[in-house]
Amino acid sequence: MARTILRWRSVFGSLIALICIHAIQGFSFQSKNLLNVNSNQDHLLTLLDRRAVIQSTVASLICLSAPVARAAYIDPAIDPPEVTKRVFLDVSIDGKGEGRLVIGLYGNLMPRTVDNFATLFESNAYAGTNFYRVLSDYSIQGGNIGDPTGKTGRSALEDGRPFEPDNFNLKHTKTGLVSAVRGLDGRIDSRFFINCQDDAGWADDRYAAFGIVEEGLDVVKRIEQVPVKPPKNAPTVEVKILRSGNMD
């Protein structure tokens, strides 16, 4: 969306610049005629002043239509961020313990976001919550503290209020990336999803990745295979987080 806006901004600016340049040429032509036919210097100065204003406007428009500096995107498949903390989730499927997910968190890249999720993991806040949506080959979603439907969650901030993520710089190019689910207002809380494919460009610039599953991708794959009920792809068997905590 942001890239589309930038493209249209550039096109719009260029069109206006061309219109203004055409106007400049018209004023230039009129000025020459006035030099040859009319010696009214005041009128000529007025035209030249108007020409200078338009030239200034064109220069401004060219600056506005120039490409805006974009974020320095990071491809975790090529240049993985530093893991500053490790946390875990113990998971069961249909009442049977399936194993543990160990998640490395990118605290230097996403300090505020990681602080939120690390606090929730370490306080065992995820215990008893479910993975509420499963999209095989895309993502599994969980972390819906306080809302079994998955529509909302509760952050580690006071009153569980949502907040803006640090950035969207990390590209979704690696299976196992963990990203924050955004609410309708674009803010994040306790909910997260685990990426189930290496090429998930649909999530770039939309969702903030803050960690990666370092151990337990086999558990993620088993969760992907559970039967689901449309249209929300809610599992028909319970996929529960039994416990969460800190590995360090």
pLDDT per residue rounded down to tens, the chain (248 residues): 444 443 444 444 444 444 444 443 443 434 334 334 344 444 444 444 544 444 444 334 333 333 433 568 999 999 999 999 999 999 999 999 999 999 999 999 999 999 999 999 999 999 999 999 999 999 999 999 999 999 999 999 999 999 999 999 999 999 999 999 999 999 999 999 999 999 999 999 999 999 999 999 999 999 999 999 999 999 999 999 999 999 97
Q: What pLDDT score does 113 carry?
A: 98
The Cα–Cα gap between 135 and 181 comes to 14
Of 220, 176, 168, 153, nearest to 83 (Cα)?
176
The Cα–Cα gap between 12 and 229 comes to 46
Torsion of CA 180, 181, 185, 189, to 10 degrees: -60
**Backbone phi, then psi, for 131, in 5-degree steps?**
-80, 110
Burial 70-87 (b: 16+ CB within 10 A, else e): eeeebebeeeebeebbbb
* Residues present in the chain in total: 248
Report residue 53 as tokens.
């204003």
Q: Is-above-0.75 flag for pTM?
A: no
Contact at 8 Å (CB) between 140 and 193? yes
Q: Could you check whether the bond before residue 80 is cis, i.e. omega within 30 degrees of 0?
A: no
Other C-beta atoms within 10 Å of 213: how many?
20
The Cα–Cα gap between 110 and 81 comes to 10
Report residue 188 as tokens.
């994040």
Cα radius of gyration (the chain): 28
Q: What pLDDT score does 72 carry?
A: 86
Q: What pLDDT score does 140 carry?
A: 98
